[in-house]
Amino acid sequence: MVDEKRDQVTAPGPKVGVYVCHCGGNISDHVDVEKVCEDAKGIPGVVTVKNNMFMCSDPGQQLIMEDLKNGTIDRVVVASCAPSLHESTFRSAISRAGGNPYTYEHANIREQVSWVHHGEGATEKATRLVAAAVGKARELHPLEPFRVDAKRHATVIGGGVAGLRAAKDLADRGIQVVLIEKSPFLGGWTAHWDRLSPTEDDVSELIPELCRQVLDDPAVEVHTCSQVISFEGFIGNFRLGFRKEPPAEGAYAEEIERMKQSGADTGDFIPHVGVCPEPLPEASEEQTVETGVVVLATGFRPYTPRKGEYGYGEIKEVITLPDLIRIIAENRRAGGGQLLQVNGRKIRAMAMIHCVGSRQIPGIHEETEGRPLNQYCSRVCCGATLHAANLIRETHPGTRIFDFYRDIRTYGRGQEEVYEKASDNKVLFFRFEAQDPPEVSGNAGEGDFPVSVKVKDTLTFGEEIETKVDLVVLAVGMEPNDVSDLVEMMKLPVGADRFLLEVHPKLRPVELSVSGVLVAGTSQAPFDVGETCAAASAAAVKASAVLARGGFVELDPFIAEIDMGKCKGTGACVEACIVDGALRMVEMDLDGEKVLRPEVVPALCQGCGACTAVCPENAINVSGWTLKQYEKMVEMIVSEKLAA
């Protein structure tokens, strides 16, 4: 739907076009878009007003581009959803039409209006926000992005599947890569598994092949037993320091012992450990690397149940799903059998409990000091649990399996079939409520089963059922690895779930708010191996795109600018700056006199305006967001001419 208000007004100065979005009803259900358009025609400087059902669509963008190409307008105001969603969309459209992308202003009339207001008040507020945007647009001037030199080099932090995939993809694009892994092994937690669900791919084949591709590539330099200790610089010009040292006492002891017992040589795959690409270092050594972009692939760790949680740590027959996966592989190598065996003990019946360490609810689940509840769903646990159940039922048909779940999530290609297969394999399901979880205890009753599991089964309308088993398996969720040192060092954003937080899940899914720092794999969220590889490849593509230009990157010009004619050198702006090094006091020659004045480092400046707020001389402004532009916005918001 296109409704064009073609009444044009002769206005001196900038010619502003206003484009209002219905957002498929998200806006127009509560805001009278026709009234907003009619009112916008009377705003000084506006020469044309149009609306569209979806301004972000190709037809919507075309309205703007046509008006720019024929000279009708030279400033653009779009009234639609939050600018974080489609600001880049409209700037790109303006550029394609030959305009300057920084002569555009956005009015958020969805999140700030239609989603929180109704009736006449919503329409009036939308009109005033549009007027404020027009007021600012008339004060906008064409800006140009600035360039900074960039090294065609990437550093990947983390040597799991995501880090390995990202490193290889970057190398294939002609970019030199340094991969830093804190453990002695490559492969991450995926190397601890046996077979992948639902493809049944053998991990002992996949991980060695991926490691070989990385280790054999001359463009990739791998450092294990290494940890980042310093970070400075900006996109295109980062400098990382890392320390390579022998594993701390007790760290990776189990994996190192397994490596020694296997008799593996350097570069060999050790089952349930990974690949150790080089001998363990005998002494500490510090190194630095200069790099253009950083990819964080720091991975996850399985949730470790609290002592006593479903009997864990108190009943020896209670184990976690990662433990079970290793046991299944050991049984297969030993030749299988009618019954699964654990430490020589035959398992006639076993219970599997879902959502351990995931979907935890305050007030229901016990909180531990220093260990927040994991309120998110770990997504992959259900599929992994059912896959393990199928392997047991098919390889050890004498072992009965009881599955206790709150809900089952089998998303992704082939995963629903895993669930159906479990039903066909006669896995018996019981459903429980979060506030009434299964009770696991030592069996003091009749029979020789060591563990008893009681549950109120909602599938049978709350009937209490007691099951005697030889083994209880806890399907533990995923937690992000502790990267608090990197978060502090790099000033990284972290979500409420403690995973690294991307800029936008749809538009900028692998970018962090620190320019030039990208995220890949399970450091971002719970992923399966396929999703992890896809995210890693996406991060590699984004990194290579950043470094694709000949030795430089372009950045938005929204940075602080200093009027040296007004500046008195108080240094208040430097003290208020939130980014280390973005503003600094330097000695300069001013009218033949040596003075100290602030200097902006464009690549570090985030354009936050903290410096502007504290300058007593009003000598500093942010390009694209000047004090004069703010004043015009306020004037338009309070203008009596806009009163209904």
Rg (the chain; Cα; Å): 30
Counted domains in the chain: 4
Domain C-terminal end among 453, 478, 503: 478
For residue 589, the domain's CATH number is 3.30.70.20
The answer for residues whose C-beta is within 8 angstroms of residue 285's C-beta and 6 or more apart is 243, 244, 245
**pLDDT number for residue 262:** 78
* Structure confidence by residue, pLDDT tens digits, 363-375: 999 888 788 999 9
Contact 138, 14 (CB under 8 A): yes
Q: Is there a contact between 119 and 27 (Cβ–Cβ < 8 Å)?
A: no
pLDDT 10s digits, 540-590: 999 999 998 778 998 899 999 999 999 999 999 999 999 888 999 999 988
Classify burial at 111, counting beta carbons within 10 Å of its beta carbon; exposed 0-12, middle 13-18, buried 19 or more: middle
Work out the angle at residue 486's Cα, subtended by the Cα atoms of residues 485 and 492, and round it to the nearest 5 degrees.
120
Q: Do 331 and 337 form a contact (C-beta atoms < 8 A)?
A: yes
Residues 339 and 461 reside in one and the same domain: yes
Count of Cβ atoms closer than 10 Å to residue 369 Cβ: 5
pLDDT at 397 over 80: yes
Q: Give residue-wise pLDDT tens across range 431-443.
A: 999 999 999 999 8
More confident residue, 589 or 176: 176
Nearest CA-CA partner of 384 in 422, 342, 346: 422
Residue 634 in domain: no
Residue 212, CA atoms < 13 Å, CB-side half-sphere:
8
Peptide bond into 198 cis (omega under 30): yes
Do 213 and 112 lie in a common domain? no
Kind of pairing between the strands at 439-442 and 451-457: antiparallel
Q: What is the pLDDT of residue 8?
A: 42
Helix, strand, coil fractions of the chain, as percent rounded to 5 = 30, 30, 40
Both tokens of residue 610?
């903290």
Which segments of 173-267 are extended strands (E)? 176-180, 220-223, 226-234, 237-244
Pair (532, 576) in one structural domain: no
Q: What is the mean pLDDT of residues 400-424?
A: 95
515-528 tens-digit pLDDT: 999 999 999 999 99
By CB neighbour count within 10 A (0-12 exposed, 13-18 middle, 19+ buried), where does 490 fall?
buried
pLDDT digits (tens, 9 = 90+) for 25-84: 999 999 999 999 999 999 999 999 999 999 999 999 999 999 999 999 999 999 999 998
Answer yes or no: are the C-beta atoms of 355 and 342 closer than 8 Å: no
CATH of the domain at 196: 3.50.50.60
Strand stretches in 268-348, DSSP E = 269-270, 274-275, 285-291, 293-296, 300-302, 318-320, 340-342, 345-347
> Which residue range(s) make up the domain with 593?
560-622
Specify if 635 maps to a domain: no
Report the pLDDT averaged over residues 336-364: 94
Count of CB atoms within 10 A of residue 607's CB? 18
Position 446 scores a pLDDT of: 66
Enter the tokens of residue 485.
């040192």
Supply angle C-alpha 21, 26, 31, rounded to 5.
70
pLDDT recorded at residue 7: 41
Domain boundary among 533, 552, 571: 552
CA–CA distance from 130 to each of 62, 78, 79, 273 (Å)?
Answer: 20, 8, 7, 59
Q: Is residue 416 situated within a structural domain?
A: yes
225 plus 337 within the same structural domain? no
Residue 628 covered by a domain: no
Please give the mean pLDDT across all residues of the chain. 93
**Tokens at residue 468, please?**
């005697």
Residue whose structure tokens are 């970070």: 231
Confidence at 261, pLDDT banded by 50, 70, 90:
confident
Q: Is residue 637 part of a domain?
A: no
Domain annotation covers residue 532? yes
Considering the domain architecture, whether residues 506 and 565 belong to the same structural domain is answered as: no
Closest C-alpha among 37, 36, 59 to residue 48: 37
Report the distance separating Cα 41 and Cα 6, nearest Å.
9
The pLDDT of residue 4 is above 90:
no
Model pLDDT, residue 643: 58
Range in 171-185, 252-266, 363-377 with the lowest mean pLDDT? 252-266
Region of residue 355 (phi > 0: left; psi between -120 and 50: alpha; otherwise: beta): left
Structure confidence at residue 289 (pLDDT):
97
Rounded average pLDDT over 481-496: 95
Q: Say yes or no to pLDDT of 362 above 50.
A: yes
Both structure tokens of 318: 């209670």
**Mean pLDDT over residues 595-610, rounded?**
92
CA separation for the pair 37, 3 (Å, rounded): 10
Residue 259 in tokens: 């490596």
Within a domain: residue 643?
A: no
The edge-to-edge listing of strands for the beta sheet with 471-476 is 318-320, 471-476, 349-356, 400-405, 428-431
Are 177 and 273 part of one and the same domain? Answer: yes
Q: Which of 119, 143, 167 is the last residue of a domain?
A: 143
Cα–Cα distance between 634 and 620 in angstroms, integer?
A: 20
User: With contact defined as beta carbons under 8 Å apart, do 597 and 562 qualify?
Assistant: yes
Q: What is the DSSP string of 475-499?
A: EE-EEE---HHHHHHHT--B-TTSS
User: What is the pLDDT, as a whole number, of residue 510?
Assistant: 97
Residue 6 has pLDDT above 80, yes or no: no
Does 459 lie in the same domain as 404?
yes
Domain shared by 73 and 213, yes or no: no
Rounded mean pLDDT of 315-343? 93
pLDDT of amino acid 5: 41
Note whether 329 and 473 are same-domain residues: yes
CB 472 within 8 A of CB 311: yes
Considering the domain architecture, whether residues 168 and 246 belong to the same structural domain is answered as yes
Looking at the chain, how many residues does it have?
Answer: 644
Euclidean distance between CA atoms 241 and 245, whole angstroms: 13
Q: Are residue 186 and residue 330 in the same domain, yes or no?
A: no
CA nearest 12: which of 64, 47, 49, 50?
47
| Domain CATH number, residue 81 | 3.40.50
What is the spatial distance between Cα 233 and Cα 153, in angstroms, rounded to a whole number? 14
Q: Is the pLDDT of residue 309 over 60?
A: yes
Q: Provide the pLDDT for residue 468.
A: 95
Predicted local confidence at residue 12, as pLDDT: 64
Q: Is the pLDDT of residue 381 over 90?
A: yes
Kindly state whether residue 410 falls inside one of the protein's structural domains: yes
pLDDT bracket for residue 90 (50, 70, 90): very high
- Do residue 115 and residue 171 come from a single domain? no
